[in-house]
Structure 1
Amino acid sequence: MSDDKPTRRDLMKPLQLLGLAFGAAVFAGVVTLVAMGFFQQRSPEQAPAALQLALIFAGVTFIVVLLVVSLLLLAIDPAQVHKTIDGPVLLPRDKPNGSAGGTDANGTDPDAAASGGTRI
């Protein structure tokens, strides 16, 4: 059963998602601690408040990153992951590559000439 198509479970890799969210949470917590002056000489009653706020920021960051990354991964079709794109991405698919708008070699707009008007 060697399938070449990745499954949704292969894309998500729960341990990597948790690691990414945990890393972002640690970063947010350390930045909050540094911004609150936790590592400087402050009064003893300021340290617990800074630590409490850093834990709140870290927890919120962990949940938000985990939710956002998981929702973004749900938008990916697993069958489309390894598919190569041979044409331009932003051009419409119903027109050939050469006539996707703009002007031809003479400087006129072929779509506007066909409709009898001038495009601006």
Structure 2
Amino acid sequence: MSDKTTRRDLLRPLHLLLIALACGVFAAVVTLFSTGAFTSRVNDLISRGLYEGLTPVALSLVVGGAAFIVTLLGLAMLMLAVDPAEVTKTVDRPVLYDASADDAEGDAPAGGTPKTTHP
């Protein structure tokens, strides 16, 4: 295996940003529709200056930005949980079994159900 960085490894942060951006845009669009930004009643109130609080567009930008940041942080935390050496390794046994039980007994019994000890 070479030490060169592949194009796939270079584009991985861009993929994470695009996923977070898609989540932010989706949250902004849902907020726009749920606040009635496209209705004539809300637009008349905004044009007359009688609308109190944030306009639906400003609220959707805030919600979309918050969704973008939360999604980006969540994906970054999930990426920290993955060990790069474990990604390429093949798994020959069930993942949720204890490694100590497999080391002590070898493989699972012939019946297919492992012995489990409860504390």
TM above 0.5, yes or no, is: yes
**Structure 2 CA distance for aligned equivalents of residues 91 and 20 of structure 1:** 32
2:63 is aligned with 1:57? yes
Identity of aligned residues (%): 43
Give the aligned partner of residue 91 of structure 1: 97
Q: CA deviation at 1:88?
A: 1.4
Using the size of structure 2 for normalisation, the TM-score is 0.71
Tell me which stretches of 4 or more aligned residues in structure 1 moved more than 3 Å: none
> In the alignment, residue 40 of structure 2 is paired with which amino acid?
Q
Q: Name structure 2 gaps, 5 residues minimum.
A: none
Partners of 1:33 and 1:54 within 8 A in 2? yes
Give the aligned partner of residue 20 of structure 1: 19
Alignment RMSD, CA only? 2.9
Larger of the two Rg values belongs to structure: 1
Using the size of structure 1 for normalisation, the TM-score is 0.70
SS of residue in 2 equivalent to 1:81:
helix
Partners of 1:38 and 1:51 within 8 A in 2? yes
Q: Could you say which structure has the higher helix fraction?
A: 2
